[in-house]
């Protein structure tokens, strides 16, 4: 008898409620369902995927922006999907030679993906500028991580006496490729940059069919293992047992309509700011409260999707992405290697530019950002004209990712997946202290893997079902 069959038999009567249908919640539910847990996932909106939701507009499948998978088919998203028997398909990945290009002052060059490429093959920086960048990277390696976590990148550049605008623009580009959605370097943690550089270079992949493929596969796995998914159903409160002589533990949830449902474990996949509405402050861990009080700063972006007639050759060779410098804008011809997301005879070009989220409702500011984006698009793709292109969506994100990695939200300061004061209560998502760089999907998937490991421990399986 295989371990998976034994696991399913052991977990058959164990009830788990997942609150929230973002990537972390879907991944945790799929993993637990595979192991025989009885899983119910409740999402208060009418769509799954959270900020990664994918929508069909004008016969195009449009991601909410576009998102890469770090480490491509070796990363945490791919690991989760492999575990549930639904391996991922990638349209492109860097290791296959599909690398982004950098555009600056009318010139295009392959973006450097390693120190060697930066030094010997990259033409948009002078040799002296490259040397200063390499010296900065070496300096970062020598500074203790706990010190870097308290510094911003702007402070780090000041200490290293880096004032060259071209170097700073390239550092912004590097961070934009890696993890960030915030244009001001005086807000971004130097510690998170160091964590990224410690893994540089690494592979990057784009999922075939966009994030829809991933969300659909997670949803299928939950349902195939007799799990339950309900959208438009809001959880109002988590039930906590404080029985004398018994450890405090989560025992179920209360819905908006007052109905209760019991469970052996509850997993929260909500924004951090929502957690205090679900639990009495007595049960809230200190790290979570500190993050809510001062650490979580949302990041913003404007996104534009354009349909283009296929006879316009926008991006040649193996490239599908172009990144500009100052301002930093990412363009991606999503349909070049994945024609399934656009109607026949058309391509899908998407563009993304980070903005100051505090100004996301300022029409004049936002309109200026869209203008910057359109001007850059026509400069790079000079053969575009009104007869061959049509804007099918313009979108403003107040929170393009859950937070940007400020010094107050580096990995050691983010709340744990495990609630220290409440047994069988877990937190998953991109704002936890699971492995990954701040605000990325890696953290969401790694938090789901960590939650799954905890619930699969023998002591977790010894619990008896709780009736409310």
Q: What pLDDT is attached to residue 331?
A: 93
C-alpha 458 chain-centroid distance: 31
C-beta separation of 232 from 48 below 8 A: no
Q: How many residues does the chain have?
A: 468
Strand pairing report for 389-397 and 321-324: unpaired
Residue 90: strand pairing partners? 207
Q: What pLDDT is attached to residue 294?
A: 73
With left for phi above 0 and alpha for psi between -120 and 50, is residue 320 left, alpha or beta? alpha
CA dihedral of residues 146, 150, 154, 156 (deg, nearest 10): -30
Q: For the chain of 468 residues, list the mean pLDDT of each consecutive stretch of 10.
A: 53 87 97 97 94 87 82 94 96 91 92 87 94 92 92 94 93 74 79 85 89 95 97 96 75 96 97 93 91 75 90 79 90 92 92 86 94 92 81 81 73 92 94 84 95 86 43
C-alpha 32 chain-centroid distance: 21
Q: What pLDDT is attached to residue 464?
A: 46
CA dist 125 to 12, 53, 323, Å? 60, 37, 15
C-beta separation of 265 from 466 below 8 A: no
Question: In which residue are the tokens 């164990």 written?
Answer: 14
The residue among 230, 103, 240 whose CA lies nearest residue 173 is 103
The residue among 352, 339, 297, 270 whose CA lies nearest residue 68 is 352
Q: What pLDDT is attached to residue 465?
A: 44
C-beta separation of 124 from 109 below 8 A: yes
Q: What pLDDT is attached to residue 468?
A: 40
DSSP character for 3?
A: H
User: 9 in helix, strand or coil?
Assistant: helix
């Amino acid at each position: 008898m295989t371990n998976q069959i034994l696991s399913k038999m052991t977990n058959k009567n164990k009830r788990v409620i997942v609150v929230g249908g973002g990537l972390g919640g879907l991944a945790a539910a799929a993993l637990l369902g595979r192991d025989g847990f009885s899983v119910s996932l409740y999402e208060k909106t009418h769509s799954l995927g959270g900020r990664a939701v994918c929508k069909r507009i004008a016969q195009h499948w449009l991601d909410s922006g576009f998102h890469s998978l770090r480490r491509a088919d070796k990363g945490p998203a791919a690991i989760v999907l492999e575990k549930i028997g639904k391996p991922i398909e990638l349209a492109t990945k860097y290791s296959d030679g599909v690398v982004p290009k950098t555009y600056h002052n009318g010139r295009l060059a392959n973006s450097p993906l390693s120190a060697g490429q930066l030094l010997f093959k990259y033409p948009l920086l002078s040799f002296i500028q490259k040397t200063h960048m390499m010296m900065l990277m070496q300096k970062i390696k020598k500074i203790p991580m706990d010190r870097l976590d308290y510094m911003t990148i702007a402070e780090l550049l000041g200490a290293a006496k880096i004032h060259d605008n071209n170097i700073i623009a390239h550092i912004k580009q590097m961070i934009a490729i890696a993890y960030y959605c915030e244009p001001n370097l005086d807000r971004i943690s130097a510690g998170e940059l160091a964590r990224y550089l410690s893994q540089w270079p690494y592979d990057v992949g784009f999922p075939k069919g966009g994030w829809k493929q991933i969300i659909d596969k997670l949803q299928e796995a939950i349902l195939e293992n007799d799990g339950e998914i309900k959208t438009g159903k809001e959880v109002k409160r988590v039930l906590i047992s404080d029985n004398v002589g018994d450890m405090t533990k989560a025992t179920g949830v209360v819905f908006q309509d007052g109905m209760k449902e019991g469970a052996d474990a509850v997993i929260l996949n909500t924004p951090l700011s929502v957690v205090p509405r679900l639990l009495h402050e007595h049960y809230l861990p200190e790290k979570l409260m500190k993050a809510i009080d001062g650490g979580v700063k949302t990041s913003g972006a404007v996104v534009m999707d354009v349909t283009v007639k296929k006879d316009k050759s926008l991006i040649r060779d193996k490239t599908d992405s172009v990144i500009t410098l100052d301002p930093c804008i990412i363009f991606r011809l999503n349909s070049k290697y994945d024609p399934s997301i656009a109607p026949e005879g058309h391509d899908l070009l998407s563009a993304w530019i980070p903005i100051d989220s505090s100004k996301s409702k300022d029409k004049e500011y936002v309109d200026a950002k869209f203008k910057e984006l359109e001007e850059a698009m026509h400069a790079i793709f000079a053969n575009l004209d009104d007869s061959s292109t049509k804007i099918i969506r313009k979108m403003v994100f107040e929170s393009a990712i859950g937070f940007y990695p400020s010094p107050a939200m580096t990995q050691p300061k983010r709340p744990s997946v495990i609630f220290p004061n409440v047994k069988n209560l877990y937190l998953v998502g991109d704002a936890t202290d699971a492995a990954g760089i701040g605000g990325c999907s890696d953290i969401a998937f790694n938090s789901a893997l960590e939650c799954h490991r905890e619930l699969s421990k023998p002591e977790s399986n010894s619990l008896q079902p709780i009736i409310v």
